[in-house]
Structure formats: C-alpha cells, structure tokens
Amino acid sequence: MTFAFTRILNSLGGSLFSQTPQFPFNKDSVRLLQASPPARSTSQFLGVIESFLNSAMSRQRRWFDNPYPDYQPGNEQLPNLENVRKLALEKVEKVFEHGARDGDGALYVGAVGCAYMLLHIFDKLTVEERKRLLPLAFNAFQLQSVYFQRNPGKQTDEPGFLLGKSGHYAVGAVLGQLTGNQQLTNDCLQSFIAAANVCKPIDFFKPGGDEFLVGRSGYLCGALWLQQKLGYQPVPKEDLKAVWNAVFESGKRYSKLNKSPSPLMFSYYQTEYLGAAHGLSSILQILISFPVFLNENPEAATTIKASIDFYHTLQDQTGNFPCAMDELGRKARHPDEMLVHWCHGAPGAIYLFAKANKVYGEQKYLDACLKCGDLMWNRGLLRKGPGICHGVAGNGYVFLVLNRLLEGKDPKQLYRAGKFAEFLECPQFLKEANRPDCPYSLYEGWAGTVCFLMDLLQPEAAEFPFFNLDVNYA
C-alpha cells in the first residue's frame, strides 16, 4: 500500500521534499504513512491521503487559468482604448516616481529603462504630455549616468546592452536627438561605437560573450535600434561586421568542440541556454538581421539557417521550447513546470521565427509562431507579475507580433492581446500575482507593461522593446 501510494505521489509531482512550495506536506505525515498498521488508525491514514491529494491537486502552477472565452466571430470585444490609455498614463507617473531611483540593473531594471519607456511611447503622447514627461525621462537618464560614474565596473561591461553600459549610451543618444542636445548625442554615440572594440575578441567575456543581456548580440541589437531611431547607422560597417563575425565564429567553435547537434551553439556560465535572454534564439534572430553580412558569407548564411531549423525541431506539442539543452529528452520539465517566459521559452522564440518567416518566407516558421500564440492564450497569464521578461505583458506581446505578421487579417490576435491587458486589472491578478523585485522597471515591472499597453493603441506599429522585426542593417 505504501509503495503504491509513493508511486502516486511521484506521478503527481516528483520528490516530496525537493518541491516544498508545491507540496506543503510535512515529514510527520510521511512517517505516519510509513508506520506499521497498529501505529495509525484508518481515519488517520485516510486523512493524510486526503490532505496530500488536496494540496497536490491545488498546487500553484506558474500561470493563472485563462478566465476568458477565446475569440469567436461575433464576440469582437476589443479593449476600451481610452481606458487602456488612462491606465498606461497612470502607471507612467508611478514609474517615474518609484522606478527611476536606482541605476543598478541598467536598462533591464535600472533608471535608464524608465527613460526608454518614454522614448517607446513618445509618438502616442500629446504635446503637453511630452513637455511634462520628457524632463522626467532625462532625469532618469542622468541618475543612471551618475550610477555608472560611481560604479565604473569592468571594461567588459561596456558592450552589454540590457545589463551593461551600451544600452545606456544608446538611450542617451536618442534622448539627446529628441531634446536637441547634440553634444549628448555625440558623446553617447562615441562611447557606444568604442564599445565594439571591447567585444571583438571572441573570448572577451569568458563566461559567455554572445548572449543578449551582456553580450555581442545585445550590442548588435542596440546598433539596429539606433539606426531605427536616428535614421542612419552610426556604427562603422567594419566594426559591426567584426562583432557579427565574432558571434558566428564563437558559436561555430563551441558547437564543434562540444559536438552539439546545432551547427551554432553558445554557452553562458556553462549552460547552453536556448531562450531569448541568454541563448540561441535571440542570437540567431540578430544574426539574420544583417542580410548584408549573410550575402557576403555564404557559409555563415547556410550554417545560421541550419541552426534555426535545428531550434525549430525543439518546439513541443504545447508550442513551447526548452530553456536549455540540458532539458531535452528525459530531462524535460514536467508540463506544469514549463517556463512560458520571454527570457526562457516560446514568448521569446516567436521573434526568431517571425524574423525567419520574413527572411526566408517559409510557412513552417509562421506555423511555429501560431503555435506560440495558442500556448500564450492557454498558459501565458503568468503569476510572476506584469512585466515583459516573465510576465503578462511580455506574453501579451506575442499576439501583437502575430497581428503584424498576419497583417491584421486575424481579429483573434487583437482580441487576445486585449484580454491580456484586461487581466492586468483583474481582481485575481491584483490579489494573487507576485510582486517583482523591481516592480516599476522596464523588463520586470510596469515600465515595460506601459509599452505593451500603449502599443495596443497602434497595433499596426507595435513592437516588443528593441525587437522591431522590420529593421535590418543598412
């Protein structure tokens, strides 16, 4: 009886004590189960079983059940855009009040991320709103500048985009142009361009220098964003090509050395991540955003395409992707434990396949994106908070990507995006969602969520921060 019951426990979630938060089941109860029959009564035994099964069945998954009916023709309940805008602007005030206080965390969770928020929504603001909010964004940028002056860090921090200094330089350059401060723009561009020299050596950052938050792919993405915002590419071609080549050579060498099934593979702190934050998907996405370099290097073009196709094979039946290579096969996560996050999973992978669909025009990439969308609808209302890295807004962006990919021809996508925005005000979310460590920041908190809400106002131009899929190096 005890052996059979143990098998039931394992089928419900694995080890009793390795997942304490999921199974609030104490050791005394286990000892009671394992005791000989005289040591326990039938009622005690049944009570323990009932207690465990109740806790097991109600264990908290990483997402809320979606309370909304899916789209059906005739129930086109799009969000009230006035209410969406009102909520977004209320949060803007709180972001600058509470979020723009600390430079630690740079663009990801630091003050400069709040400044970026304003740049992202600037075109959707009235003249009066711009006049009132622009000084607040400049103050946030200045606070970040002071932080870096007091905490200069290492030289390897220079090219880091989300968790280093190059993202700060990029925001400063655009902010300078917007405010007519040409000196600020020039100074920031000079620093951004100089950072390329730091990351040209393949092993410039030994724990892993190719990922998005601190590595070369983030730097290249920053260059694309500057091109989009400034109207020209400020970084010399030879510098960008050297950094791009370093990413390619790094991935090829690592793959060969470690006999990876993917022609390109990368490691970050000894883990072969696959998600957008640290891994393969965003690196490949950025590499194919430089078609000039692909055309100049046919071997690289073939290898990169083969790597995209390898990653495509990893999409599971739910539409999700493993977050690292060590989670393949028998080591795969339990379905209830999968990570449905931008940083690790389908909400980040969709940008690679959306870009691949634009570059190669193959239906399988669009199909992969659609599977990501269905997964978001079923498991995308995350408990971790509102943010874009691992929150409701980041997953809501998936529908805005699909809306643009499908050229607005599928009303289901905007319906779903609107419901995710609506859920941010749902009593269940407000009561039960976790509070992020940095609740007003760009990637964890409301600054990024504001970007999502305001993008709902102009879905035809919506873009996840720094991931404009229409921008290529030129």
Q: Would residue 434 be called left, alpha or beta, if left means φ above 0 and alpha means ψ between -120 and 50 degrees?
A: beta
The rounded distance, in Å, linking the Cα atoms of 459 and 441 is 23
What number of other Cβ atoms are within 10 A of residue 280's Cβ?
A: 31
Q: Is position 451 annotated in a ligand binding site? A: no
Of 408, 346, 401, the residue nearest 371 (C-alpha): 346
The rounded distance, in Å, linking the Cα atoms of 344 and 22 is 21
- The helix (run of H) or strand (run of E) holding residue 107 is helix 106-109
CA distances from 360 to 114, 356, 410 (A): 35, 6, 22
According to DSSP H, which parts of 268-345 are helical?
280-287, 291-296, 298-312
Q: Are 79 and 421 in contact (CB under 8 A)?
A: yes
- Any idea what the Cα angle at residue 185 is, between residues 182 and 186, rounded to 5°? 85
Q: Is position 390 annotated in a ligand binding site? A: yes
Q: Is position 343 annotated in a ligand binding site? A: yes
CA distances from 198 to 4, 143, 162, 234, 335 (A): 59, 25, 16, 17, 41
Binding-site residues for Zn(2+) sit at 343, 389-390
